[in-house]
Structure 1
Amino acid sequence: MNFKQLALSFLLGACALSASAQIRTLEFGFQSDNDSFLAQGSDRYYTNGLFIYYRRGMEIKTNGKLVNKVLGIEVGQKIFNPISGSINDANNRPQPSFIDRPFAGYLYAGATLNLLYRNESNFKIGAQVGVVGPAAKGKQAQQVIHDTFGFYELSGWEYQIRNTPVINLSLDYNRLLLRNQWADLTAFAYVNAGTAFNNAGIGPMVRLGNFNQLFNSYSTQSTATRNAIAPLHKRELFFYYKPMINVVVYDATIQGALINKKDDAGSMEITSEPKPLMLSHQIGVGFSGKRVNLGFEVAVHSRDVKTQRYSTHQWGSLNVAYRFGK
């Protein structure tokens, strides 16, 4: 081997080592949703969510259409209440008529498989098992939050949705439509089906700033990878806007059990009916560095329950993740 060949081999090896050093196969993070993040003084409807997740980049063939595959595991809890977490009147007496959206907690564990293709489309398949109702500990979690931060006393959880088991499947789809140096446009669609949530939605997503391909981006939860992917940018920092039209067929946090609807003599459950068509808007910023992902989003939804007093509700969502491993 002459000097030129030796030098070339060294440079190629150094490049391969550098590329592999950028690979982070594992990701651990959490997401917190709360309407108090927007400092509006409101505490209504979807009032709190907490999620912990783990993602792992999977091995794939390097010369195929599939360019990244990510396995995800998640546990989470969502809490819903009416216009307020207290339905007491001025005389401190409970008023069930104040319940314009049912009290409900949802606790679950789930898994996803994210299949990301070279043409910048992806399918994310998911499954969740859990429970809606008192077993989800929504009241207890909200009580801890209110006690910790000195918020008002809760009342009305005795009217919450009864226990109902949840087995749900989901499918998300993204597809790049067009892109220039600082902006791109993606089509998005989802569908959920199961014993608790049956709905679907569609809409576009616009990204502005420094973003990577959809197979290795914060916006598609695909920054964990086992493959040496050449990104558009070493770091992502972009703003996004994602409006959607959502069709709701069934929601157990509003309507109660889809199955086993027999009356429970001891139950004080108050249910309602969902709006079949709901509009939503997500506006946020995402950052992905060598090891850390950060994001903040504002979500605004139109009325999703027919009896809701307010025509819209909104909350903030904070996402933090750390990548490690090779």
Structure 2
Amino acid sequence: MGTRLQTGDDYSSGLFLGYSHDINDASQLSFHIAQDIYSPSGANKRKPEAVKGDRAFSAFLHTGLEWNSLATNWLRYRFGTDIGVIGPDAGGKEVQNRAHQIIGAEKYPAWQDQIENRYGYAAKGMVSLTPSV
């Protein structure tokens, strides 16, 4: 388990738990579950209601599988899927408020205006060519 080092797009924090298993010398299967939390910008996060035009408080809870394979010395495949939820069911309010309670930081009231639940699925793939030197 770890935290993601990511900045920008009003990203606040995240938790990531992953496991990878070597299928053979050239292939690997990975599984992950993660939660990303996003906050409004600057002083807007301290306001009692969401500010129109700014990002609302939100969290993205997702899980996925990924297969990586080195087909040859210079050809690599990566394919994966992710499924998740954004909104109250992602648990961002509870996680952030608990973390803030532990460290003695303020709780933000505008979580009441977080975006509604939305569920999604993504398929991703990549083929990379890296000639050996």
TM-score normalised by the shorter chain: which range applies? 0.7 to 0.9
CA contact (8 A) 1:146 1:152 kept: yes
CA distance in 1, matches of 2:53, 2:98: 22
Which deviations, in whole Å up to 9, do the C-alpha atoms of 1:262-306 show, x marking residues without a partner? xxxxxxxxxxxxxxxxxxxxxxxxxxxxxxxxxxxxxxxxxxxxx
> Match for 1:52: what amino acid?
L
CA contact (8 A) 1:128 1:168 kept: yes
> Match for 1:87: what amino acid?
R
Decide which of 105, 115, 118 is 1:161's aligned counterpart: 115
Decide which of 61, 66, 76 is 2:34's aligned counterpart: 76
Larger radius of gyration: 1
Decide which of 41, 52, 59 is 1:105's aligned counterpart: 59
Quote the offset at 1:101 in angstroms.
1.6
CA distance in 1, matches of 2:104, 2:74: 47
The answer to whether the aligner puts 1:54 opposite 2:19 as a matched pair is yes
Quote the offset at 1:176 in angstroms.
2.2
- Which is further off, 141-150 or 117-126? 117-126
> Match for 1:146: what amino acid?
H
Number of equivalenced pairs: 132
The answer to whether the aligner puts 1:32 opposite 2:3 as a matched pair is yes
CA contact (8 A) 2:74 2:132 kept: no
CA distance in 1, matches of 2:52, 2:88: 20
Secondary structure at 2:109 match in 1:
coil
Quote the offset at 1:97 in angstroms.
2.6
Which deviations, in whole Å up to 9, do the C-alpha atoms of 1:98-151 show, x marking residues without a partner? 762222111111111111133233221111122111000011111122112222
CA distance in 1, matches of 2:18, 2:67: 13
Counterpart of 2:100 in structure 1 is 146
The structure, 1 or 2, with the larger RCO (C-alpha pairs under 8 Å, 6+ apart) is: 2
> Match for 1:47: what amino acid?
S
CA contact (8 A) 2:21 2:28 kept: yes
CA distance in 2, matches of 1:158, 1:118: 52
Quote the offset at 1:32 in angstroms.
0.7
TM-score with structure 1 setting the length: 0.37
Classify 1:178/1:126 alpha carbon distance in 2 versus 1 (closer, same or farther; 3 Å): same
Quote the offset at 1:95 in angstroms.
4.5
CA distance in 2, matches of 1:57, 1:178: 23
Secondary structure at 1:156 match in 2:
helix
CA distance in 1, matches of 2:118, 2:49: 25
CA contact (8 A) 1:125 1:170 kept: yes
Counterpart of 1:176 in structure 2 is 130
CA contact (8 A) 1:83 1:99 kept: no
CA contact (8 A) 1:86 1:154 kept: yes
Task: Show structure 1 runs of 5+ residues with no match.
Answer: 1-29, 39-43, 60-66, 89-93, 180-326
